Chains A and B, each alone.
Chain A
Amino acid sequence: DAKTTQPNSMESNEEEPVHLPCNHSTISGTDYIHWYRQLPSQGPEYVIHGLTSNVNNRMASLAIAEDRKSSTLILHRATLRDAAVYYCILLLGSSNTGKLIFGQGTTLQVKP
């Protein structure tokens, strides 16, 4: 399975933007980039996904590099409730099951 690399931890101040990076240099042309987050003592929740173009939804934006070897999850205004572990996951384009292979993720700390 294709591998992703994320920083172990990041800090942000409340109400400021947060850019969470992810490297995936072995990504293939049909692999989707997914982001999930896990709040303390909860199951993971879907955040956003993309293939080639940048994506926006109500939770976040996903910026994908032109060569697709890296991507950045953008939280436009971090709140205390955004403190979580953020996982960047590659989903095989040929996969019907949508199996998720989680890495270590980035622990985001938001300071008031």
Chain B
Amino acid sequence: DAGITQSPRYKITETGRQVTLMCHQTWSHSYMFWYRQDLGHGLRLIYYSAAADITDKGEVPDGYVVSRSKTENFPLTLESATRSQTSVYFCASRSYTSTSYEQYFGPGTRLTVT
């Protein structure tokens, strides 16, 4: 199906483990973004990417690693998960040519670190 998907939708992991959250979009959008949302808070930008092999930090990048070898994929890795990284993670994408800067968001991944 066309659109933006995230996997897994739910994940429980232990402190210290490495976890990778996947994001895939079928529109060939240039820009992709990762946000986290904590209970009672708005979304905060973790990392973003302007194109394949081009990534940059957002507001809260510490503890996260991203890569973008293909335009359609933008995985987010927690190298050593901590309880403070328990959150809902949203991936988004945007077309480079979009004059509205409209971002399309995925359904989210709910991550619990025990």
Contacts and interface: CB of A to CB of B under 8 A. Distances in A.
Given A43-B107, A97-B50, A101-B59, A91 B43 contact: no
B62 interface: no
Given A46-B102, A97-B48, A87 B42 contact: yes
Interface string A5-30: 00000000000000000000000000
Contacts, number: 55
B31 interface: yes
Interface in A40-92: 41-46, 49, 87, 91
Contact of B103 (A32, A46, A104): A46
Q: Size class of A's contact patch? A: 20 to 34
A5 to B, nearest CB: 13
Contacts of A44: 43, 90, 92, 103, 105
A98 B31 contact: yes
Contact of B105 (A32, A34, A45, A103): A45
Interface of B: 31, 33, 35, 41-45, 48, 50, 56, 58-59, 90, 92, 94, 98, 100-108
